[in-house]
Structures are given as C-alpha cells and as structure tokens.
Amino acid sequence: MNWTAFDTWIVVTGALCAVACALPGCFLVLRKMSMMGDAISHAVLPGLAIAFLVTGTRASVPMFVGAAVAGLLTALFTQWIMRFGNVDRGAAMGIVFTTLFAIGLLLIRRAADHVDLDPDCVLYGAIELTPLDTLGIGGLDIPRAALVNGAVLLVNLAFIAALYKELKLSAFDPDLAGTLGFSPQFLHYLLMTLVAVTTVAAFESVGSIIVIAMLIVPPATALLLTRRLLPMLGIAATAAVLAAATGHLAALVVPGWFGFQSTTSSGMMAFASGLLFLLAWLFGPEQGVVARWLRRGPVEPEPLSQTQTKTT
C-alpha cells in the first residue's frame, strides 16, 4: 500500500462530505424519513438532465440548481400524494422517485446521442479523481470537491446551530412545535432543501452512494449509542469521519486480498459505515446485543412501537 497526499485529500473530501450528510441525516432518522435521502438522490436525475439539455454544458451551477429543484419537487410531490391521496409515506415516496428517475433516464437516453452524460458517472461520482481538480488557495492546492463539501458542511452546521431548538422540538414532538407556533411544515421543507442541496453538492463531487449511506448509517449508529440529541449529532459526525477514513483504507487494501486490482472508495466508505454500525449494534454499552445479553440473558426482541410490525 502506498499512501500519498492524494489519498489524504480523498479522505479529507470524503470525511467533509460524510459529516455534511450525517448531520441533517440525524433529523431525517428521527423524523422517520430515512428513505428520503435515497429517494432524493435518485430523483435528482431529471434535474441534472434538464439542466444539461438547457445549458448544453456540464457546468456545475446549472446542474446544481436543476438537481436541487428536482430534490425539492420530490419532497413536495411526496407530501402532496400523502396528503391529498391519503397514501402511506413510503409508497408515496417510492412512486415519486421511481417516476422522476424514469423521466431522467429517458431524457439522458435522448441526450446521449449527442453527448456524454452517463447515469453511472452521475450516480457513482468519482471520489478517486477529486484531487486532480484543485484550486490554489494560500499556496495550497485544495481539491475543488473538498471546498464544495466543506462549504456545504458549514451551511449545514450554521443551519442546525441557528434552528437547533426548533429542529429538536419538531423532531420529537411536531404537534407541540405546531402549537407553539413553529411551523413543522416550514421546517420540513427547509430540512428537505438542506438535504437536497447536500445531496446534490456531494453527488457532483463524490457520488451518490456516499450520500445515501452517510445520511442514514452514522445517525443510526449514533441512535444505538445515545438517547440525547447533541451527543447523537457528535457521535454521528465522528462515525462519519471514521467511515470515510477506514473506507478509503479498505478500498486500497481489500481488493488485494481477493486478487483484484482496485475498487471504489465510495462503495467501501458505505461498507465501512456499515461495519461501524455493526460494532455499535453488538458492543454498544447500553443497548448493545452483548451488553444486554450480559445483563439479562439472551436478547428478547423489544416490542415495536407500531402494532403492525411484529412478526414473532
């Protein structure tokens, strides 16, 4: 293995992106909307395609705007179908994002005759290539992707810091938030905008798979370890950074074990976040499988909060 400055930048970029996703992800998980990240990341495809067809370039700004609009529309359409059609959230989300994705595929296929716009490069990005595209700032060549994701992270941090109380209240008790005069609806769309912007920024630079994983897995890990919001945000951010670092390391090492040449760092970062979740699941001090085993014998499944989900 040969660790270079190149690898350091990949890890830094990945970590910035991972934390930027994990923070709003905590609120998605708490609001039972974990699948929204996945839905938005598929649904932005037509936005990207339309922006491309209109401007004819792969310039970042129009693509970004197109994707962010498509992301917001996903949230909006889902909400409408839920409200006017009385449809379960999961089903509404599934219909909206598959439809938008199909539209995107059609548009891309139509455009593909003239240009190179490949759904693969849209969906998987290429974090390995990010250090090639740098901006010189203060004598340091910083990858553009690191700057973009750093900026998104700052925006997300500022958003959460500014609206911490409101977000907390509406995540845990939307009805109370409503009666106290914070519109949960408004916060919902604000959060969705944030998720859409984060997704799109990360997409363009590092690929969607990191986004989908980091929106859900580090917050889920944190939720296994704490029941309080502030520690949850901290743990999620830490897990995200760890996943980015170990993921890239694994991408360098693991293919060798099986005799392959290389793999994608983004896929391995998602995998690494899954392993961290596994650790927390097994060895969490309070709710971990092992800890509970030691406390009271074999694990009994906890009764689920909803009546419909029990199977045994």
Contact positions with other proteins (CB under 8 A) in 137-196 = none
Which of 23, 29, 40, 194 binds other proteins (CB under 8 A)? It is: 29
Which of 4, 114, 120, 161 binds other proteins (CB under 8 A)? It is: 120
Taking phi over 0 as left and psi of -120 to 50 as alpha, with beta for the rest, 49 belongs to: alpha
Are the C-beta atoms of 118 and 63 separated by less than 8 Å? no
Q: For the chain, how long is the longest CA-to-CA vector?
A: 65
Q: Tokens for 50?
A: 């339309």
Which of 60, 274, 279, 291 binds other proteins (CB under 8 A)? It is: 274
Q: Tokens for 54?
A: 């209109």
CA distance 222 to 57: 41
Q: Cα dist. 212→25, 34, 124, 257, 267 in Å?
A: 9, 9, 11, 27, 11
Are the C-beta atoms of 26 and 34 separated by less than 8 Å? no
| H/E run at residue 134 | strand 134-137
The interface region with other proteins, picked from 8-16, 158-166, 185-193, 218-226 by CB under 8 A, is: 218-226
Q: Binding of other proteins at residue 206 (CB under 8 A)?
A: no
Are the C-beta atoms of 18 and 247 separated by less than 8 Å? no
Q: Binding of other proteins at residue 302 (CB under 8 A)?
A: yes
Q: Binding of other proteins at residue 287 (CB under 8 A)?
A: yes
Q: Residue 119 Cβ, how far from other proteins at the closest point, in Å? A: 7
Q: Residue 160 Cβ, how far from other proteins at the closest point, in Å? A: 20
CA distance 236 to 224: 10
Segment 31 to 70, residues that bind other proteins, using CB under 8 A: 32-35, 37-38, 42
Segment 223 to 242, residues that bind other proteins, using CB under 8 A: 223-224
Which of 48, 160, 245, 269 binds other proteins (CB under 8 A)? It is: 269
How many residues are there in the chain? 312
Which of 116, 261, 294, 295 binds other proteins (CB under 8 A)? It is: 261
Segment 80 to 99, residues that bind other proteins, using CB under 8 A: 81, 84-88, 90-95, 98-99
Segment 241 to 260, residues that bind other proteins, using CB under 8 A: 251, 255, 258, 260
Q: Which is nearer to other proteins, 116 or 137 (CB)?
A: 116
